[in-house]
Amino acid sequence: MMILQPIIVLLGAAAIIPLIDLLGKKIGFEKIRDIVAIAAFLIAFIILYSFFGNLPQSFTIDPYGPPLGVELRVDNLSLYMAIIFCGLGLLVSIYSIKYMEVDSGLDKYYSLLLILVAGMIGVAFSNDFFNLYVFWEMMCVASYTLVSFRKYKWEPVEAGFKYLVMSTIGSLISLYGISLLYGLVGSLNFTKLHSAIETIYGNGSAPLSLLYLVICMIIVGFGVTAAMVPLHTWLPDAHPAAPSSISAMLSGVVIKTGVYAMFRSLFTIFHPKIFDFGTILMLFGVLTITIANFMALMQKDIKRLLAYSSIVNIGYILVGGGIGAYVLTHYGLKEASIAGIAIIGSLLHILNHAISKGLLFLCSGCFTHEAKTRAISKLEGIGKKMPLSGLSLSIGLFNLAGIPPLSGFWSKLFIILASLSIPENNFMLAISIIVILNSIFAASYYLWLTQRIMLKKPTEIVEKVHEAPLSMVFPIIVLAILCILITIKLDLFIKIVELASNNLLGGV
Amino acid sequence: MRLEKILSIIIAALILIVASFYAIDFSKFIPIPQSLGNPSLEEEPYFIWTYRSIDVFIQGFIVFASVAAIAALFRIEKGEGAMEEAVIEEPIIEEKEEEEYE
């Protein structure tokens, strides 16, 4: 039952917040709903933290367990992801107290934010494909609305609708893939699917092309939410249009849920030694990094630039996972350590990007909250007027640029090292050269943005601004400290990520 | 003082709800079917409420989320809301065409 607790706490709070809001209005203290949301996130975070050391754990309703019943399972990987989701949710809810106070309907906002995080944690805990899909849909419904929350402007409505259409098509593609798997095996439990697919491949009872079709459907279906090029077109519209607190959630964790669902289903069900999905992931990853990098360079809107940068970083994560799978397919277990390094790099980059991009979007929210504009040209020199936000933004940008010794450098280094560790393989050499060149290219516009924000003479608009309120600056400082803390305690974080990567490669 | 009391009661209630999940075995509330062999939906009409009860519970919350979403999008806005100037990259196409026509 313990596994369900963080989800039930978040959903319970989501259900009671509208009533709490009514109570708050009665007593003249509306912020009570914000406090309840923060308390729920905090309780869920504490429960998740208490899982450490007691893993893996499974939950089924006796006697209705697998293969027919639902199974929730927590291992190091799902806990790692869930803690990132819940942690960022907690900071975003604190940030929202002041940032969202100009808006009405905040009871719905907090309810949907709690449902969003509950859905993501549910996806991480699911050990059953249909259950994963149900949690996935819950997450999606909440995220569409949160993107369009400021519906009094044209931009969020258009972006939300685009996101709704594209994400729904993606979800349906993945559902079709799931239904094909159910038709082949008669169960949707991951553990059962893992052994059944191997048996089906062994006795040739299903054509290989059908199994590859399922793999492609899973990659494309979850790839829409992961914002993988060419399925990314919703993201550059949705992330800038959403309130900055929601942009931080979307870029920081929601798109990672897509990557997690993709990695978890592919690595767990389809044995990388048999199915070469690593090549597909790598090619998509490289395409994603390259195209998004060029697009980012052309942006004049700070949030739009950060949105394209999110797509770039999803590319790195996909390349890392792809290298891990590719090595296992073509070199077997004798090079399993290289696969492990690539997966560690990929998972560490998930953490780095979640923290850094959350930080950057919250910082841009502080800037737009004070200066009322998203144009980089008008935000020049704002770091001098808002030193805490500006300095935090610089730390986040340096981390994503991969400036040593920050942890962003190490996660990219692991991915590149893994690709260079394979001898006499021109394909992998080409992949690593493209990734290295793109990393340098990306660093250039991160540093360009830092220079514009921190070193330029303040513009006329910027001259009038002041530092954002404390409740908005506090989560930013926490995230900036986390960027540095991961660097200082890198060995500890690599150990945690290594345990998570072992779970991902556990089926191998 | 009154406000603090209400706050304390709410947070305490939340903590109690969390704590109650340690004590209550929710599987006791679900009826156990006669046969546990390999049920089909026709043979076992309560399959959805037993084997897939967690899915049903979450689907209920999807409905709740949808209601919250619709309520959020149809709410009456008070005040101006957030002022945030977006960057428009290109002039609107119709304007271009009008200029050319003139």
Those residues whose C-beta lies under 8 Å from the C-beta of residue A265, and which sit 6 or more positions away, are: A129, A132, A190, A218, A222
- Residues A83, B13: Cα–Cα separation, whole Å: 24
Those residues whose C-beta lies under 8 Å from the C-beta of residue A446, and which sit 6 or more positions away, are: A309, A397, A398, A400, A401
Q: Where are the alpha helices (DSSP H) in A372-469?
A: 382-385, 387-401, 407-420, 426-454, 460-463
Phi, then psi, of A126 in degrees rounded to 5: -70, 135
3-state secondary structure of A151: coil
DSSP state of A424: T
At residue B96, does pLDDT exceed 60? Answer: no
Q: Searching chain B, which residue's CA lies closest to the CA of residue A68?
A: B51
Min Cα distance A99 → chain B (Å) is: 9
Q: Searching chain A, which residue's CA lies closest to the CA of residue B27?
A: A61
User: pLDDT at position B94, please?
Assistant: 56
pLDDT band at B44 (very low <50, low <70, confident <90, very high): low
User: pLDDT at position B98, please?
Assistant: 60
pLDDT by residue for chain A (508 residues), tens only, comes to 588 889 999 999 999 999 888 888 888 888 889 999 999 999 999 999 999 888 888 888 877 778 788 889 999 999 999 999 999 999 999 999 999 888 888 899 999 999 999 999 999 999 999 999 999 999 999 999 999 998 888 888 999 999 999 999 999 999 999 988 888 888 888 888 888 888 888 887 778 888 899 999 999 999 999 999 888 899 999 988 899 999 999 999 999 999 999 999 999 888 888 888 999 999 999 999 999 999 988 888 899 999 999 999 999 999 999 999 999 998 887 778 899 999 999 999 999 999 999 999 999 999 988 888 888 888 888 888 899 999 999 999 999 998 888 888 999 999 999 999 888 888 999 999 999 999 999 999 999 999 999 988 888 888 888 888 888 999 999 999 999 999 999 999 999 999 999 888 875 4
For chain A, report the end-to-end CA distance as a whole number of angstroms. 29
Angle between helices A336-371 and A490-504 (to 10 degrees): 120
Question: Mind listing the pLDDT tens digit for each residue in A305-344?
Answer: 999 999 999 999 999 999 999 999 988 877 788 999 999 9
Instruction: Give this prediction's pTM.
Output: 0.89
Q: Which of A370, A399, A425 is nearest to A484 (CA)?
A: A399
Q: Secondary structure of chain B in the HEC alphabet? A: CHHHHHHHHHHHHHHHHHHHHHHCCHHHHCCCCCCCCCCCCCCCCCHHHHCCHHHHHHHHHHHHHHHHHHHHHCCCCCCCCCCCECCCCCCCHHHHHHHHHC
**Which residue type does B37 have?**
G
Among A12, A134, A141, the residue with its CB nearest the CB of B66 is A141
Helix (H) or strand (E) segment spanning residue A58: strand A57-59
Q: A5 and B21: CB-CB below 8 Å?
A: yes
Q: B17 and A9: CB-CB below 8 Å?
A: yes
Cβ atoms within 10 A of the Cβ of A444, count?
Answer: 12
Phi, then psi, of B94 in degrees rounded to 5: -60, -40
At residue B3, does pLDDT exceed 90? Answer: no
Q: From residue A272, how far is each of A278, A326, B9 by CA, in Å?
A: 8, 7, 53
Among B24, B64, B87, the residue with its CB nearest the CB of A374 is B87
Taking the Cβ of residue B75 and every Cβ of chain A, the question of whether any pair is shorter than 8 Å is answered with: yes
**How many contacts, defined by CB atoms under 8 Å, are there between A and B?**
165
User: pLDDT at position A109, please?
Assistant: 93
- Residues A508, A21: Cα–Cα separation, whole Å: 50
Q: B85 and A115: CB-CB below 8 Å?
A: no
Q: Among all chains, which residue has been given the structure tokens 């004798």?
A: A334
What number is the average pLDDT over the span B4-21?
Answer: 73
- Residues A291, A308: Cα–Cα separation, whole Å: 9
- Residues A358, A215: Cα–Cα separation, whole Å: 31
User: pLDDT at position B89, please?
Assistant: 56
Residue A287: half-sphere exposure toward Cβ, Cα within 13 Å: 13
**Which residue type does A8 have?**
I
- Residues A442, A313: Cα–Cα separation, whole Å: 10
Angle between helices A490-504 and A255-269 (to 10 degrees): 50
Min Cα distance B42 → chain A (Å) is: 15
CA angle A363-A85-A258, nearest 5°?
Answer: 100
Q: A300 and B64: CB-CB below 8 Å?
A: no
User: pLDDT at position B75, please?
Assistant: 86
Assigned token pair, A229: 């090029």
User: pLDDT at position B22, please?
Assistant: 58
Min Cα distance B94 → chain A (Å) is: 18
Among A18, A102, A137, the residue with its CB nearest the CB of B62 is A137
Portion 3-62 of B in contact with A at CB < 8 A? 3, 6-7, 10-11, 14-15, 17-18, 21-22, 24-27, 30, 32, 36, 38-39, 47, 50-55, 58-59, 61-62
Angle between helices A426-454 and A302-331 (to 10 degrees): 160
Cβ atoms within 10 A of the Cβ of A470, count?
Answer: 10
Min Cα distance A68 → chain B (Å) is: 6
Helix (H) or strand (E) segment spanning residue A57: strand A57-59
Instruction: For residue B41, list chain A residues with Cβ-Cβ distance below 8 A.
Output: none
Assigned token pair, A185: 């095996």
User: pLDDT at position A418, please?
Assistant: 92
Q: Which of A335, A341, A326, A344 is nearest to A278 (CA)?
A: A326
Q: From residue A364, how far is each of A60, A90, A306, A395, A418 by CA, in Å?
A: 43, 18, 9, 13, 34
User: pLDDT at position B99, please?
Assistant: 60
- Residues A457, A453: Cα–Cα separation, whole Å: 9
User: pLDDT at position A163, please?
Assistant: 93
At residue B23, does pLDDT exceed 70? Answer: no
Q: B14 and A35: CB-CB below 8 Å?
A: no
Min Cα distance A393 → chain B (Å) is: 19
